[in-house]
Structures are given as C-alpha cells and as structure tokens.
Amino acid sequence: MVKSRSFIATPPGATIKEQLLDRGLSQKEFAVRMGMSEKHISRLINGEVQLTPDVAVRLEMVLGIPAKFWNRLEATYREKLVKANAENDMDADKELAKKLPYREMSKNGWVPETRDTTEKVIYLRKYFEVVNLEIIKNMQLSKIACRRLAETEKSNLALLAWAQKAKLEARTIETSLIDLKTLKNSLLEIRSMTTMNPSEFCPKLIELLSNCGIALVFLPHIGGSFLHGATFYDGNKIVVGLTVRGKDADKFWFSLFHELGHILLGHINQPNGTTEEDEDAADSFAREILIPTEEFKAFTAQNDFSKEAICAFAQEKHILCGIVVGRLQKEGFINYNRFNDLKTKYILSA
C-alpha cells in the first residue's frame, strides 16, 4: 500500500489475502490450485507483481469472483499508485526546489520566472532533465571536479545548477576528439595568453581548447556556490566552466589552470567527485604552470617586493603583474592590501 496526501493505493493482493483468510486457505494450497509458484503468489499478494488478465481468469476459477472485478481492481490500483507516487515526488521536490537558487537562475534566463511552487518544480525537472529533482543528487550523474571555497548543501545544489547550465551551453560548442597530449603541449601557449586582453585571448583560448576536445564555457556566478570553476565529461567532450563576474585576472588564470590540472591529472569522471588531495594537486599544478616554484623561490629570495621588482619579474616571465602579486599575497610575502592596483579586472561575456 502506498499513501500520499490525497491517495491511498491498495494492491489487489490485499483482497486476495482477505479471501484466503475467510476461506481458511493457505498460500501454499492456493498456489497449487492457481497452478502458480508460491513465490509468485506471495509477490502478487504483496503487490510486487502486476495482476494480469491471465491471473484474473485463474482467480475467477479458484475464488469464484469474476475476472472483470480483478482487472478493474488492478487498474484502479495502478492509477492510484501513479497518482500517489507523483504527489509524493512533487511534495519532496517542492522542498528541494526551495534550496535551489531559482531566483538567480530565472534572473539569468536559465528557467522561466514564476512564483508558483509547482511550476518551479516542473521547470527545474526540465532544466535538469530528470523525472524528479532528487535524482540530481546522484553523484553518478555529475562526477564534477571543481574549485570552490566552501562546501554546504546549499553550495552543492548551486553547483549542480551552475554545472547543468555549463553542460547545456557546451552542447552548442563543436569540439574535436579529446586529445590530452595536445592539451599538455599547449600549456605554455595558454600561459602566454595571460598578457593579452580578454577580447584577444578568449576566442584563441576557446578554439585551442576545442581542438583538444574541451568545450570552454563562461557563466555568471551563482550566489552561495563559492564556485570558481568546474570540469566534467559530457558525452564525447570535456566541459570546463568558469565564472565570469568581475574577478582578478590572477584568479581567472589560476582557476583555468586548476581545471586543466584536474583533466591532465585524471581527476574527472570519478564516481564520488574529487577528493581534498585532488584539489590540492590541481592547485599545485596551477601554481607550477603560472610561476614555476624554483623561479618563484629565486625571486622571493632577493627579498625585494617593491612595485618595480614585481613588474620586472612579471615582464621577464611574460605574465601579468597581478599574477605575481596574487601569488605573493597568497603565500604571505606581502599583505593583501598591497599593490592591488597592479591587478587587472576581467569582465567576460557569458
């Protein structure tokens, strides 16, 4: 028996059981009279198998109750079962929908605007391409490798909403077959783009990565996601999504190389997503590509953190001054309030 707020679905087996009790008939003897196995009769009584027209005719012969009665009872049960399950699913999905950033999603044009809770659930199911929203929590579907600053239920759901949009956008991007060797050989070329303006490097970067089987997608930031970027497989391509709100150039490039690190280090497509060790390894990968450790140590060993010294080092390494500043701030060589005027802000188009 399945219950919901409005429906109670009772299987025909409950009526069969009543008949057996009234007649003092055991399930074993009943199975013999029906010409069926005890296991099937048990499952029939428990509503685990459908009462077919053939069984209905057998019931008429054994119990003397017309087959049409049993057929009607089965049809009514199946109809109420569907309605009860649908109502229960809707109630559960309404609660989950409250935790998803629907307002921001609709503001970005990802889902239609509405205040009706039922409509929200329907739109969200279509957006996520699932029959009920609980399915989106299944890590087997997402397998996302990402860079973010915190992890909560709200941030996880915001991440799933953001990643789904990245997946939908990536479907419009044509890519070659996945080629990790070419990607690895292109890292220094990508690094050289750090000195370019976004209008110049964006199309170059998108094309270069598409030739490696990677669809690069820029999306608006979703509040509460603590997200910088995410990477995952979708069919025969890899999707790399990056947030595009006005962010420092050093954070943008670090996020990009962090995600590329996940790809080259084999962190994506894992059943349970990335581990803390994976995230640390991707961070190390990004740091090493942007400013190799030995070169950074040689610079910091001079103990000259003047603006002139920073700019000279950046020029020598062909990277933005802001990337050097960000690394120095992160590792405690200078305070976070120093030389922020050397940082470049990016505003990219989603």
Q: What is the pLDDT of residue 244?
A: 67
Domain boundary pick from 133, 150, 182: 133
Q: Collapsing DSSP states into helix, strand and coil, what is residue 177?
A: coil
Identify whether residues 107 and 225 lie together within a single domain. Answer: no
What is the distance of C-alpha 173 from the center of its chain?
19
Identify whether residues 146 and 123 lie together within a single domain. Answer: no
Identify whether residues 171 and 272 lie together within a single domain. Answer: yes
- Residue 308 domain boundaries: 138-346
Identify whether residues 116 and 56 lie together within a single domain. Answer: no
Q: What is the pLDDT of residue 147?
A: 57
Identify whether residues 149 and 222 lie together within a single domain. Answer: yes
Identify whether residues 230 and 310 lie together within a single domain. Answer: yes
Q: What is the pLDDT of residue 165?
A: 94
CATH of the domain at 29: 1.10.260.40
Q: What is the pLDDT of residue 306?
A: 94
Identify whether residues 129 and 28 lie together within a single domain. Answer: no
Q: What is the pLDDT of residue 276?
A: 86
Identify whether residues 179 and 325 lie together within a single domain. Answer: yes
Q: How many domains does the chain have?
A: 3
CA pair distance 106, 11, nearest whole angstrom = 42
Identify whether residues 291 and 184 lie together within a single domain. Answer: yes
Which residues, other chains included, contact 38 with Cβ-Cβ below 8 Å and sequence gap of 6+?
Answer: 27, 28, 31
Identify whether residues 291 and 148 lie together within a single domain. Answer: yes
* H helix or E strand, kind and range, residue 285: helix 276-290
Tokens of 160: 């799933």
Identify whether residues 148 and 107 lie together within a single domain. Answer: no
The pTM of the whole model exceeds 0.85: no
The answer to whether 190 and 204 have CB atoms below 8 angstroms apart is: no
Tokens of 118: 């039922």
Q: What is the pLDDT of residue 268?
A: 87
Region of 13 please: left (phi>0), alpha (psi -120 to 50) or beta. Answer: alpha
The answer to whether 324 and 249 have CB atoms below 8 angstroms apart is: no
Please list the ranges in the chain whose pLDDT falls under 50.
none
Q: Collapsing DSSP states into helix, strand and coil, what is residue 224?
A: coil
Identify whether residues 149 and 223 lie together within a single domain. Answer: yes
